[in-house]
Amino acid sequence: MRDRPIAPVTRGILYMIMASALISANDAGIKYLINNGGFHSLEVVFFRNLFGVLAFAPFYWRIELSSLRTERFGFHLFKNVLQTSSIAAYFWALGLIPLADAAALGFMSPIFASIGAIVFMGERSRMMRWVCICIGFVGMIILLGPGLTGEINFGVLLVLAATIVGAVVRLMTKSMIRTDSASTIVIYLSVTVTVLTFIPSLFVWVWPSLGQWLLFIAIGASGSACHWLMTEALKHGDVTAIEPMNYTRLVWAAFFGIVFFGQVPGLATWAGGAIIITGAVLLLRIETREKRQVSALK
Domain boundaries, the chain: 8-297
DSSP-based three-state secondary structure for 56 = coil
In DSSP notation, 159-181 reads: HHHHHHHHHHHHHHHHHHTTTS-
Report d(CA 102, CA 89) in Å as an integer: 11
* Closest alpha carbon to 15 in 228, 194, 196: 228
DSSP-based three-state secondary structure for 236 = coil
Give 99's pLDDT tier (boundaries 50, 70, 90). very high
Give 13's pLDDT tier (boundaries 50, 70, 90). confident
Q: Which amino acid is at 203?
A: F
Q: What are phi and psi of 152, to 5 degrees?
A: -90, 90
Give 85's pLDDT tier (boundaries 50, 70, 90). very high
Residues 6+ apart with CB under 8 A from 77: 192
Percent residues over pLDDT 90 in the chain: 37
Total number of residues shown for the chain? 298
Q: Is the pTM of this model over 0.75?
A: yes
Give 21-33 pLDDT, tens digit per residue: 999 999 999 999 9
Task: Evaluate if residue 220 carries a pLDDT over 70.
Answer: yes
